[in-house]
A = this chain, B = another copy of it.
């Protein structure tokens, strides 16, 4: 990594929303986009890159992953885990104690792979529990520091093993927020903690004490999930947390016969939704959410860890999976799938200065694709990735700045 930064001009790229296909240039200085337009003259000393007619996309946003858990780059983990959520939680806690798995090394390996594939902003949940304390957080904070110039990372302090059911966790979550975590996480207040009101009360009180937003894993299905969701919305309203809460997964919203009233309240309270678009679970109704003004965005969830063998640090692939899950076959639908891993992701996480416009952070991805939809389904190698004004990858391989 280097913090040296030269002005940069990328010529001969196409914009996805310009059907004329006219080539344009992008000029970048001080980590920001200066201008996008035809025939921009490079300033003296600028690095000039020929885009070769590639499609120009904004850097991708990973809205929900678990950098601290991954085995990326390690020996293959043979998964023989039982089928229940509690099996997976207990198995992982034991594995991480016994295996020498290092959250710092692993989060750096996966972050590098994300950068090489064009993700420049990322929200990661990091396990906080009474066995590990803040050890995983420390590893991920190290990775954030190492990549500070090129990867904009938000860290969620996440009680993977439960909050109320593991006394001591609440204190550790507070310590994590004080140590640098940006967001307070939570997990299934009814089905894991067994006390939805009490668990949510504890979470909201902690968020208020540290002045942090909330991102809660809500796997609870159907009516149970909807019940928990309503309790959560009551607290968003009572505590003035509008616009500061994300509900991740929210499977329940895909399984209710009549979700409209609940969705309308979610929209009113500006609660955002995160989906990994799992093919085997109900998912929130994406288009209906967007019609109501709800921010809904995408993420991988875990990638190649003790929970799941699946996942790639490639947000174009996640956009494709979102498209498949919601049966989005039209080009305008695939643009929505891409929005979930770009602008809507930035909106949902609160990453500022996002997009392809003058003044935005210069996070740019070039791909050889005819159209945006083509890029989503074909997932071509990233020809060039620029993050915060620095060239971080070429041809899918990390370059100097990362």
Contact = CB atoms under 8 A, between A and B. Distances in A.
B76 A324 contact: no
B373 A325 contact: no
Contacts of A78: 331, 371, 373
A330 interface: yes
A76 B277 contact: no
A340 interface: no
Interface in A310-355: 310-311, 320-321, 323-327, 329-332, 334
A309 B321 contact: no
Given A279-B277, A279-B321, A280-B326, A304 B373 contact: no
A52 interface: no
Give the interface centre of A308, A310, A332 by most chain B CB atoms within 10 Å: A310
Contact of A331 (B79, B278, B325): B79
B80 A331 contact: yes
A279 B325 contact: yes
A79 B373 contact: yes
Contacts of A279: 277, 279, 321, 324-325
Contacts of A334: 309
A334 to B, nearest CB: 7
A377 B331 contact: no
A332 B83 CA distance: 13
A81 B80 CA distance: 44
A280 B308 CA distance: 20
A374 interface: yes
Contact of A371 (B76, B277, B323): B76
Contacts of A307: 329
A87 to B, nearest CB: 11
A258 interface: no
Given A370-B75, A370-B76, A280 B324 contact: yes
Interface of A: 75-76, 78-81, 277-281, 304, 307-311, 320-321, 323-327, 329-332, 334, 370-371, 373-374, 376-377
Q: Which 5 A-B pairs have the closest CB atoms?
A: A279-B279, A280-B327, A76-B370, A279-B325, A76-B374
